[in-house]
Structure formats: structure tokens, C-alpha cells
Amino acid sequence: MAETFAQMKTTAVVLEPVSSGSVPVGSLYNDAANSGTFTNKSVTGDVQPVGASTASSVMVKMKRNSTVTSIPAYKRVALLANGSVCLADSDNPTAMTDIGLTLDVIAPTLYGRVLLNGANADGALSGLGYATGETIFLSKTPGALTNNANAFDPVTDTIMKVGIADCAGSDASSVATDLIMVIEVYSRPGGG
């Protein structure tokens, strides 16, 4: 028996913005927490904006504005310890961890796109116990990472920042799962 599919022709479909928690798995919806983006909630519950792909989103991440004012488009933003962003500021200790540039106006309490300073490695820090906003270094253990800059001896060790710990996109959390890749060599043995 052949399957029959319904066909529909219209000039527009209007979807009211809703939260991802209010829609069932297997849904297409207008995501209120994601700047009104047309979004798919897969049968496994994963939320992915329609049209977004891993290749195109590795440099853009959805971040939450937890301030009381809108953050304008094309402004530098800093990552806060709770996983949200604010305007970056070189003389404000809580706003110095610059992670990128806003691509949209981000209204208070909502999410918007941030073009990151470096690629986002989804899940690279999952389960490792790092906090959002921590500086992550290449470890003395081959292939590993660390957040302990005091473990190095500048006479014998290369001290290299590999990135900033961050929570998952479209999340605001102090628990880091992702690594925003930003390479900076602080020192090398012999100065080379």
C-alpha cells in the first residue's frame, strides 16, 4: 500500500513564538528564545535552527543577553560566568572575556547570534568540570587540557592558551561543555 501525503498551498504560515520546552519532539516551531528562528525539535529532542549546519555554525553561537538593556548589533561582547553575554569592556573585570561580535540586536533575556573570535568546539569540555569563562591551556599531559596556569614552568614548558570554556549554544549556564578556540602563546622555553 502506497503512503498518501497531504499537500498544502498558501502564501504564508504564521507561527507564534513559543519556547522549545512547550513543543513536542518532531516539531517545527518559531523559537521565542532564539530570536524567533524557525526551528526543528528532532525526535530525540535536539533543537536545531532550520537551515543551520555544523559547518556554518562553528563560528556563530546563540548567546543570551542577561543585562537590562538591549545589546546592539555589531558590538563586542564578553562571556559572563553564568554563560550569558554583556557588552565587552577593557576596564570592567567582569566584562573582559571578549568572545566575539553580535550579529543582531539582542534584547534583554533573549538569545542572539554572536560571531565568535574562534571556532566553537561543541562538547569538547563535556564532563571535565570546567566553569564557563575559564581560560583553558594545553596541558603537560599529552593531548589533554587544563585550567591551571600555575602548573607550568616557563623554563621548560610552553604555556599556551587554547581557548575559553563556554556552555552550549542556546544555553546560559556556569557549566562549560564547549571550547571557543582562541590560541595565544604566553611563553616558550628559550623564547622561540
What pLDDT digit, counting tens, does each position of 24-71 carry?
888 888 887 766 677 777 777 777 776 544 334 688 999 999 999 999
**Amino acid found at 117:** N
Summarised one tens digit per residue, pLDDT across range 121-160 is: 999 999 999 999 999 999 999 999 999 999 999 999 999 9
Dist CA 115 CA 80 (whole Å) = 16
The model's pLDDT over 92-126, given as tens digits with 9 standing for 90+, comes to 999 999 999 999 999 999 999 999 999 999 999 99
What pTM value is reported for the model?
0.71
Q: Give the helix/strand (H/E) hosting 54.
A: helix 54-57
Asked if residue 163 lies in contact with residue 122, where contact means CB atoms within 8 angstroms, the answer is: no
Can you tell me which residue has the cell 602563546?
185
